[in-house]
Amino acid sequence: MTGMIRKATLLVAFGLLVASAAMAGVPSPANCHFNAFIDVVATNGTTIDPFGTYTVEVNDAGDLPIEGSVVTINFAGATDIRLCTDFVPDGQTNYCNYVSAVTNASGIATFIVAGAANNSGGSAGGYFDDVVVRADSYLLGTITATCYDQNGRIPGGEGVTGTDASMLSTDLGVFGGVDNAGYKGRDDYSHEGWLTGVDASFFSTLSGYGTSSVGCTYCP
């Protein structure tokens, strides 16, 4: 009996080792780390605004970093936002609705996403948790996208200007308030999950830097 128990114990241990080995290098959503909000910015005419820097840390089930994992952030659900095609950081690939980058030795993929919304003031757009994050096709979770260039996709819209502040003000009047009916993720600069005057303060701070004052070429 003792021998059978020992054999069973060894088989279980072996099975656990095999399972552990099989999961090594496979992204584990529970062990991956990224912020719940990503800020879509503009440029200064030469470089993308570093304020928009966003990282995704990819780890396996043993909480070990995975190098070489392809991370994608899909903005298709943020229906009024389109991404830049001419301002793309090294190591990042931009498409109309999503971006991709590869993790380094620490399991970290770094993004700076430039783009613009199609907001003329109170226009329809994306909501909460409408952006999808994946690593090697494994779903890691969903996040919300803000967008500082509110009207860059509208003819005449260019970078972050006072016009965008006006668009935001209209949005806050239409979509803000206690119940936040019609919440628009593009406006949630404070990353709180609802819209208030605090978001206008965050917008004002970034626009004052001048680092997002120039737009770029957006997908249609």
Count of CB atoms situated within 10 Å of the CB of 146: 25
Say if 166 falls within a structural domain.
yes
The mean per-residue pLDDT over the stretch 4-18 comes to: 45
Say if 98 falls within a structural domain.
yes
**pLDDT band per the 50, 70, 90 thresholds, residue 183:** confident
- The radius of gyration computed from the CA coordinates of the chain, to the nearest angstrom, equals 21
Say if 113 falls within a structural domain.
yes
Separation CA 73–CA 130 (nearest Å) = 11
Count of CB atoms situated within 10 Å of the CB of 26: 13
Say if 159 falls within a structural domain.
yes
**The total number of structural domains that make up the chain:** 1
Say if 17 falls within a structural domain.
no
Separation CA 87–CA 70 (nearest Å) = 20
List, for residues 121-154, the tens digit of each pLDDT value: 888 888 899 999 999 999 999 999 999 999 998 8
Give the domain extent around 178: 22-209
Say yes or no to pLDDT of 219 above 90: no
Say if 217 falls within a structural domain.
no
**pLDDT band per the 50, 70, 90 thresholds, residue 176:** low
E strand or H helix that includes residue 130: none
Say yes or no to pLDDT of 19 above 70: no
pTM of the full predicted structure? 0.87
List, for residues 35-54, the tens digit of each pLDDT value: 999 999 999 999 999 999 99
Say if 163 falls within a structural domain.
yes
Separation CA 129–CA 192 (nearest Å) = 12
Say if 215 falls within a structural domain.
no
What pLDDT was estimated at residue 158? 84
Residue of 192, 180, 187, 27 lying closest to 103 (CA atoms): 27
CA max distance for the chain: 83
Say yes or no to pLDDT of 23 above 70: no
Helices (H) and strands (E) counted in the chain, each on its own, are 3, 11
